[in-house]
Amino acid sequence: MSDWMVAVGRGRVRRPRALSPLREHLRDTFWFAPTAAMVAVCLVWWVTSWADEAIVTALQDGGEFDAVKDLMGIADDVKTVVTTISSAMMTFIGVVFSISLVAVQMAGGQLTPRVVRLFVRSRITKLTFAVFLATFLLSLLVLTSYDGEQDPRRVSTVPVLQAFITLGSVALSLLLFVMYVNSTLRMMRVGHVVDRVAWEAFRVVARMPYGDAASGDLAPESGRVAYEGRAGVLRDVNIARLVRIARRRGVVLRVIPRIGDFVVPGTMMFSVHGGAAPSRRQLRSCVFVGVERAFYQDLGFGLRVLADVALRALSAAVNDPTTAVQAIDRIVQFLAAVGRGPLDTLRYKDRSGTVRLVQPVPGWDELVDLAFTEIRGCAAGTPQVTRRLLAGFDDLLSLVPEERRESLLRHRELLSRSVERSVPDAADRVFALHPDRQGIG
């Protein structure tokens, strides 16, 4: 995040790779990592089982029956531990799952339900569950490998490698459990949550094709393609695939709704410029609709979440202005970073440098309204928040270009009027309208 901000400040821009959103979709699921881990552990068990059989066969062929008997003794000693692991691991998983539910419930209730997705996307949470389930499955598979034969000349396998792999998996599980508890406790802290939301918002900005927006006008519109599918929120589009389709057709595609808009069947999704429209079947597979917004391509969603955190903190039920100030800190940081860059429309080019996809994003005025309108309306009677807002306005006014100051000045003036109406005492008004980056330090 900081590297991107430095690059923007120095005037350097980069052209991002138009990646498929599949990776982001998998991160929004909780089943993929545990399933992949269990498949991987089955392969590991199969390899180690084959290795154990090969070791026993080699020793028997060489007449090393005493060595085989020693291995059988080691395996029998470890069997008790493996049996204990198999019976205790599911209880351990239940404890971890309970901790997750409590943390999610507390964060969603105190901040905003939209931060729950941060827990779902947490790599350490998924890795912990994956390793725990894999350890449980591995212990069961190892127990099936024990041979009831006690004669070293006739035994077919001795699961020594398998048992030690299981013990290593248990050690990894304990290490991950410590890391998981630490990560969960951090996710229950307001500062870490708003920092994580801001980081996700900056990832969206880093993918935007800065430097490519200053392109010529589009060719006349030659057709439109309607959306076909279930109603829901437009989460993202497959930019790489859309660029390839447009290049093959020799056209430019323009996405009509913005990411985060609610679309229904029949909504016009694409306009086509410069040639015949691609088939609906081709374009349908490039559009992803869900039940809620996601960070991946949604420029305004990070601000939406930060504003929600501040609004929840300013509500009468919570009354936590310090949390609101922490959210405003990140809002100002985000607006300061995007305040000098091109907004409104993104233009993605193919390998030859020709614009093939045009995608709308919120403009500067819309981002400022999203960031401050609701917070300003709830902050008039809270001097800690009004002072922080005024300091934020002053900072942004000194950072953004002249043509983008009007909306900031408008919100600054509206905040001053709100305070004047809400605070009857003149001394209190003067105090509430004094800019302070810490609110009331």
Q: Where does the pLDDT of residue 258 fall: very low under 50, low under 70, confident under 90, or very high at 90 and above?
A: very high
Half-sphere exposure of 210 (CA within 13 A, CB side): 19
pLDDT at 26: 82
Tokens at residue 216, please?
Answer: 């010529």
Mean pLDDT across 44-61: 88
Q: Please give the C-alpha separations between residue 158 and each of 41, 44, 53, 101, 162, in angstroms, as whole numbers.
A: 19, 16, 7, 41, 9
Phi-psi region of 342 (alpha: psi -120 to 50; beta: other; left: phi over 0): beta
> Using CA atoms, how far apart are residues 401 and 410, in angstroms rounded to an integer?
16
The most confident of 125-129, 148-152, 321-325, 345-349, by mean pLDDT: 321-325
Half-sphere exposure of 180 (CA within 13 A, CB side): 26
Q: Length of the chain, please?
A: 441
> Is the pLDDT confidence value at 307 over 70?
yes
Q: Could you tell me which residues come within 8 angstroms of residue 373 by beta carbon, excluding any fewer than 6 positions away? A: 411
pLDDT at 2: 39
pLDDT at 19: 53
Alpha carbon 117 to its chain centroid, in Å, reads 7
The most confident of 30-44, 82-96, 181-195, by mean pLDDT: 30-44
Mean pLDDT across 141-164: 83
> Is the pLDDT confidence value at 268 over 80?
yes
Out of 5-14, 229-238, 427-436, pick the least confident.
5-14
Out of 248-262, 336-350, 400-414, pick the least confident.
336-350
Helix axes 65-110, 32-61, angle to 10 degrees: 170
Torsion of CA 139, 142, 147, 148, to 10 degrees: 10
pLDDT at 331: 96
pLDDT at 210: 58
DSSP 8-state class, residue 114: G
Q: What are the percentages of helix, strand and coil residues in the chain, rounded to 5? A: 60, 10, 30
Across the strands, what pairs with 346? 359
Q: Please give the C-alpha separations between residue 156 and each of 58, 61, 70, 165, 214, in angstroms, as whole numbers.
A: 11, 12, 15, 20, 72
One-letter amino acid at 283 equals L
Q: What is the pTM of this model?
A: 0.82
> Is the pLDDT confidence value at 101 over 70?
yes
Mean pLDDT across 212-238: 81
Which residues in 8-43 are b (16+ Cβ under 10 Å) and which e?
A: beeeebeeeebeebeebbebbeeeebbeebeeebee
Mean pLDDT across 257-263: 94
Do 440 and 384 form a contact (C-beta atoms < 8 A)? yes
> Is the pLDDT confidence value at 182 over 70?
yes
Tokens at residue 193, please?
Answer: 């949550």
